Chains A and B, each alone.
Chain A
């Protein structure tokens, strides 16, 4: 037993030393302590880990503000509906094709976030300041944020992710369809 404790201590020490070295020198390192970003959802401000909404993870500054992503940013159900009614946004469903076929926001494009490269030509004719709104099931899924990050990286300056997503849209009984979008 004593031997095992000694060995465990040895292994733990090595893990700590390796972690310290990696936190100093690894180019892809992330901060050791989870940083949070406050985003606006339908039920009020929600704190989520910053790395979920921001590709730029490493920061030499300890300031939480430096981790907050301005683009993409979160958007509520009401704001999404307003953009939908105003027809001044492209709404993009980031879920899988099968999920989209079961029902989606009227007029939404279906671009699973893993397949953006297959659909990239659809964005060629859009000005960079087009309002793009991504969504997936709801706050439990990351696909909308992943896609929003990729679109922002492509150079679009007004990318928003609809944090409460498809579940909230359905709950509000806003227009949905099962028809494919041309």
Chain B
């Protein structure tokens, strides 16, 4: 299942970019993100603020790490776990008949809702994270994507 290195790097950058994009609104509006988390009724209230503050930073930093090709395997593994958790949360919300903003990319009221389509989207993203994790080499910090591509060809 090893991919062509160019495609591997492309997928890694896409995944990293998606996570950075997904974190922006939640970083800027943590109160709204906390409300989005609350709407799922899954997390104890005590953890509401810590989750709303920490989660976007985990997304942002692993996204940057993936794009910069620093610790790509671990970053992809973290994102895979996050996506699996998000998928379970959305699935539970759908099963309970909750029509809420999923808190995924945009926190506006017209943002993405918790639907079966959203579950499918999350499953695809989890698969993408798995492919990136599987193909990512443990690289030394500071190695640019170009350098690591050259290493792979050698």
Contact = CB atoms under 8 A, between A and B. Distances in A.
Interface in B22-68: 27-31, 34-35, 38-39, 41, 45-50, 52-54, 57-58, 60-62, 65
A22 B24 CA distance: 13
B53 A23 contact: yes
Interface in A9-39: 10-11, 14-15, 18-19, 22-23, 26, 28-36
A10 B35 CA distance: 30
A52 interface: yes
B74 A14 contact: no
Contacts, number: 83
A11 B74 contact: yes
Interface in A28-62: 28-36, 47-49, 51-52, 57
Given A34-B49, A52-B35, A18 B74 contact: no
Nearest to B141: A10
Contacts of A48: 45
B152 interface: no
B interface, size bucket: 20 to 34
16 contacts: A7-B71, A7-B73, A18-B57, A18-B61, A22-B53, A22-B57, A26-B30, A34-B45, A34-B46, A36-B45, A51-B48, A52-B35, A57-B31, A140-B41, A142-B35, A142-B39
Interface of A: 3-4, 7-8, 10-11, 14-15, 18-19, 22-23, 26, 28-36, 47-49, 51-52, 57, 114, 140, 142
